[in-house]
Amino acid sequence: MSLIKDVFPNAQIVLDKFHIVNLIGRALLKTRIEIMKNFSTSSIEYKRLKRYWKLIQKDSSKLDIIHFSKWTHFSKWKSTSDVVNETIAIDDNLKKTYEVYQILLSDIRCENSKGLREHLTLFKDTVSEQMKVAINTLLEYFEYVENTLSTNITNGPLEGTNNLIKSIKRIAFGYRSFYNFRNRVFIIKNLMKPIKNYQAAI
């Protein structure tokens, strides 16, 4: 960022929403793992925290509160919202951190920069140490976070392409030829048509 300011002094720095959400998401993830260490691996609390971590990370507005079903490690039928609420209720610090996480997610989703600043300042001393670090980071760079919420600019497509390239490289166990590697990326991205009935020279 310091280099950008030197080279492009009039530029407005915009952070990607994905990375902002990922920052607070990792903080919640680390908090959950830290809480899990307080329980025996055979305990029901530990098993619930380990099994339903994806639901805990999920935006609460997308959790089902109407439909009930049978869940592992629960004796009664529950909705996804019930599963999360009962799982995080075992620890006050985890519960509070989860609630703050959901508030921050809502502010980011609604592009409410004013509310986000207020909530970051209000809750920074009431959450886990992991979330506190994330909140302090957001406050330190809030000028750029504010720019993010006021624009639709995103590097999501670029991140997706990078992930695709890494996946191609991984499943192919590497390429001897860079050009074959590049061509496969182009073909999968529909930027190049494969030659039909092509026979490689021996």
pLDDT along the chain (202 residues), means of 10: 85 86 96 95 95 96 94 95 96 96 95 95 94 96 91 80 88 82 87 68 50
pLDDT of res. 197? 62
Give the chain's end-to-end CA distance (angstroms, integer).
50
Token pair, residue 95, equals 């519960």
- 115 and 86 together in one domain: yes
Cβ(35)–Cβ(7) below 8 Å: no
pLDDT of res. 200? 54
Domain with 98, as residue range(s), is: 2-149
- 159 and 145 together in one domain: no
- 116 and 174 together in one domain: no
- 128 and 50 together in one domain: yes
CA atoms in the 13 A half-sphere facing the CB of 20:
28
- 120 and 179 together in one domain: no
Of the three residues 128, 149, 170, the one that is the final residue of a domain is 149
The residue among 143, 159, 150 whose CA lies nearest residue 4 is 143
Instruction: Please report, as a single letter, which amino acid is at residue 67.
Output: H
pLDDT of res. 47? 96
pLDDT of res. 110? 92
The residues that bridge with 69 in the sheet, in sequence order, are 78
pLDDT of res. 201? 52
Residues composing the chain: 202
Cβ(73)–Cβ(49) below 8 Å: no
pLDDT of res. 81? 96
Radius of gyration of the chain (CA): 22
Cβ(148)–Cβ(15) below 8 Å: yes
Residue reference for tokens 């098993």: 47
